[in-house]
């Protein structure tokens, strides 16, 4: 392949005590890829995503970001995290700050931008997610869907190369899922590299360029969405998808 | 000058003659309590932050040992000063410092010092609790945008922890206002000591201490109300203004969101 992989995961394993959560995970992410990780709860999807952002330290294996191993001790982790953003299931907006401050604090404190610049960037992304009118609100005054859109704007404001989504719609009621997925769909169309852990099968099928199906801490099957959803090779994948696609 | 025969008359008499003593005593009490609480809070924040510093596997051995050592010393500090009476600490420090080290503290300095480190020991635990009470998701959110531990603490965790422990800070201030009276053992002329002097002059203990009771109560009650008001202010307004009156702005996002008018009505 001409373009090199942005992210390469090699033999990644993670254990919590005697609990093996991830076993020998291997996959690549290219620029502008939208990778959806699907699988039952407890299959290690979220842990994998958290390992990529080093919120969990992998037990063994390598994560290569532009061919640099980020699990290396000498790695500047905060700097890496500005390049690889993350959106959480529970939003994790800073409760002590307004919507605007949430989107500015990282730019000002971490990227050392001045206030005007930070505000401009923050407003640009808040407008993109449709939250610009709410800049003076505190997180507790927003609905779940609004919070998640702000969280996405906050992550985007750092202008990362890759954005990780950890079940971004799982804490939302069905009405709000749509507004968040719409934002993510736009980002995908604009060519942002994304890795998304999700239970939204229709979204995974329609938006992703690559689907990874995980079960029991290993990658059971991966490939283009047409193959995974249209012609799954393994029985476990078939069963899992059959249960989900009915609904 | 003869003493009136009725209770209230005697109180008025005492106030007329010794009012300034009460005021000076109350002033000293408040000064020690406020300065002690403030410095105690600073000590508490520092100790609490160090005690909740996570151990990272990336740290080298020297740093690990250093952090462990500091944490141990701070633990000893907290346990000793929480576990002994302030009155005894006052005697121990005031007389001990001159006997052992030849340091002659002024009485006033000694009282600021003692109240501060005593409050610090309590506040350390309060701050630790305040930090632990903040959802770990807040830390993860901060880490995910590249903040260091220090930046996370300063910008995200501490402001929220501070809000949560405000009632406890108020508690400490009120306790300090009252407990400064134990410092009379080293001879600080605070409210209690001043009252004793006044009471002894005409042997009007009941009258003098009635006045002092009222003064202490007014001091603590005022402080607790001021702090409550401050807490409300920290919470900010319950509602928020939409940032624009330009109706086109509402449609600039490409997703639907609830009509802002509905929000305003609530």
Interface-testing mutation among B138, B143, B145, with chain A (most A C-beta atoms within 10 A): B145
Indicate yes or no: CB of B146 within 8 angstroms of CB of A93.
no
Indicate the pTM of the whole model: 0.81
Instruction: Tell me what pLDDT residue A83 has.
Output: 92
CB-count burial class (<10 Å; 0-12, 13-18, 19+) for B235: exposed
DSSP-derived secondary structure for chain B: ----SSHHHHHHHHHHHHHHHHHHHHHHHHHHHHHHHHHHHHHHHHHHHHHTPPP-TTS-HHHHHHHHHHHHHHHHHHHHHHSS-HHHHHHHHHHHHHHHS-----HHHHHHHHHHHHHHHHHHHHHHHHHHTS-HHHHHHHHHTT--HHHHIIIIIHHHHHHHHHHHHHHHHHHHHHHGGGGGGGT---HHHHHHHHHHHHT-HHHHHHHHHHHHHHHHHHHHHHHHHHHHHHH--SS---S---HHHHTTSSS----HHHHHH-
Instruction: Categorize the per-residue pLDDT at A95 as very low, low, confident or very high, splitting at 50, 70 and 90.
Output: very high
pLDDT beyond 60 at B251: no
Look at residue A73 and tell me whether its pLDDT is greater than 90.
Answer: no
Asked if the model's pLDDT at residue B260 lies above 80, the reply is no
CB contact (8 A) between residue A132 and residue B249: yes
Nearest-Cα residue of chain B relative to residue A182: B255
DSSP-based three-state secondary structure for A137? coil
| Record: contact B144-A155, CB cut-off 8 A | yes
- Name the residue among A107, A80, A86, A83 with its Cα closest to residue B151: A107
**pLDDT score recorded for residue B5:** 79
H/E segment holding residue A244: helix A235-246
| 8 Å CB contact between A31 and A84 | no
CB B22 within 8 A of CB B211: yes
Going by pLDDT thresholds of 50, 70 and 90, the confidence category of residue B246 is: low
List, as ranges, residues 200-239 from A with C-beta within 8 Å of B: none
Q: What's CA A21's distance to the chain center, in Å?
A: 19
Residue B84 has pLDDT above 90, yes or no: yes
| Contact status, residue B253 vs residue A130, Cβ threshold 8 Å | yes
User: Is the predicted pLDDT of residue B247 greater than 60, yes or no?
Assistant: no
Helix (H, G, I), strand (E, B) or coil at A241: helix
CA atoms within 13 A on the CB side of B161: 29
Q: Residues 153..182 of A with a Cβ closer than 8 Å to B: which?
A: 154-155, 158, 178-179, 182
Q: What is the ipTM of this complex?
A: 0.88
Rounded-to-integer distance, Cα B133 and Cα B160, Å? 9
Summarised one tens digit per residue, pLDDT across range A153-163 is: 999 999 999 99
Spatial separation of the C-alpha atoms in residues A204 and A241, rounded to whole Å: 12
Please check whether residue B148 touches A, CB under 8 A.
yes
Q: Of A13, A247, A225, give the one whose Cα is nearest residue A237.
A: A225
In the prediction, which pLDDT does B57 show? 65
Residue B79: its pLDDT value, please?
93
Looking at the predicted structure, is the pLDDT value of residue A176 above 90?
no
Which residues on A lie below 8 Å from B144 (Cβ)?
53, 55, 81, 85-86, 88, 92, 155
Assess contact for A78 and A110: CB atoms under 8 A: yes
User: For A110-234, where are the alpha helices, taking DSSP H only?
Assistant: 115-128, 144-157, 174-189, 201-207, 225-230
Q: Which of B18, B37, B41 is nearest to B29 (CA)?
A: B37
Q: How far apart are the first and last CA of chain A?
A: 38
Provide the sign of the torsion angle of the four alpha carbons B181, B183, B185, B191, taken in this order: negative
pLDDT average, residue stretch A33-49: 91
Q: In degrees to the nearest 10, what's the CA dihedral of B243, B244, B247, B250?
A: -30
> Least CA distance to B236: which residue of chain A?
A138
Residues B125, A55 contacting (CB under 8 angstroms): no
| Burial grade of A190 (CB within 10 A; 0-12, 13-18, 19 or more) | exposed
DSSP-assigned states of every residue in A42-72: TSSHHHHHHHHTTSS--SEEEEEETTEETTS
């Amino acid at each position: 392949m001409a373009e090199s992989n942005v992210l390469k995961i090699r033999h990644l394993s993670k254990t919590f005590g005697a609990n093996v959560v991830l076993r020998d995970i291997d996959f690549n992410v290219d620029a502008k890829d939208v990778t959806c990780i699907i699988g039952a709860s407890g299959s290690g999807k979220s842990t994998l995503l958290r390992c990529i952002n080093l919120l969990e330290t992998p037990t063994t294996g390598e994560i290569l970001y532009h061919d640099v191993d980020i699990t290396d001790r000498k790695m500047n982790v905060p700097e890496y995290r500005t390049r690889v953003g993350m959106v959480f299931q529970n939003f994790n907006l800073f409760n002590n700050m307004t919507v605007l401050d949430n989107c500015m604090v990282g730019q000002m404190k971490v990227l050392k931008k001045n206030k005007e610049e930070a505000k401009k960037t923050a407003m640009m992304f808040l407008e993109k997610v449709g939250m610009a009118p709410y800049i003076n609100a505190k997180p507790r005054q927003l609905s779940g869907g609004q919070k998640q859109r702000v969280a996405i704007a906050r992550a985007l404001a750092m202008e990362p190369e890759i954005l990780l989504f950890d079940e971004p719609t799982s804490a939302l009621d069905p009405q709000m899922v749509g507004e968040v997925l719409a934002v993510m769909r736009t980002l995908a169309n604009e060519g942002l590299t994304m890795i998304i852990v999700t239970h939204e099968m229709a979204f995974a099928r329609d938006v992703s360029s690559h689907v990874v199906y995980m079960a029991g801490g290993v990658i059971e099957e991966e490939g283009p969405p047409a193959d995974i959803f249209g012609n799954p090779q393994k029985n476990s994948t078939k069963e899992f998808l059959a249960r989900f696609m009915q609904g | 000058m003869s003493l009136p025969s009725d209770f209230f008359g005697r109180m008025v008499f005492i106030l007329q003659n010794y009012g300034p003593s009460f005021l000076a005593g109350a002033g000293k009490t408040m000064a020690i309590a406020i300065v002690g609480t403030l410095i105690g809070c600073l000590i508490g924040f520092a100790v609490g932050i160090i005690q909740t510093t996570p151990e990272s596997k990336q740290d080298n051995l020297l740093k690990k040992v250093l952090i462990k050592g500091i944490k141990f010393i701070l633990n000893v500090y907290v346990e000793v000063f929480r576990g002994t009476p302030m009155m005894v600490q006052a005697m121990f420090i005031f007389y001990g410092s001159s006997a052992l080290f030849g340091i002659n503290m002024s009485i006033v300095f000694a009282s600021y010092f003692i109240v501060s480190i005593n409050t610090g020991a309590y506040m350390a635990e309060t701050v630790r609790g305040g930090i632990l009470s903040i959802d770990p998701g807040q830390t993860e959110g901060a880490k995910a945008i590249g903040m260091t531990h220090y930046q996370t603490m300063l910008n995200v965790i501490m402001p929220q922890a501070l809000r949560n422990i405000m009632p406890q800070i108020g508690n400490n201030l009120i306790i300090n206002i009252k407990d400064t009276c134990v410092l009379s053992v080293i001879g600080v002329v605070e409210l209690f000591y001043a009252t004793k002097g006044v009471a002894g002059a005409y042997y009007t203990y009941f009258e003098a201490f009635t006045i002092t009771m009222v003064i202490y109560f007014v001091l603590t009650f005022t402080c607790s109300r001021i702090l409550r008001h401050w807490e409300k202010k920290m919470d900010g307004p319950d509602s928020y203004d939409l940032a624009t009156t330009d109706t086109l702005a509402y449609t600039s996002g490409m997703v639907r969101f609830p009509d802002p008018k509905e929000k305003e009505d609530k």
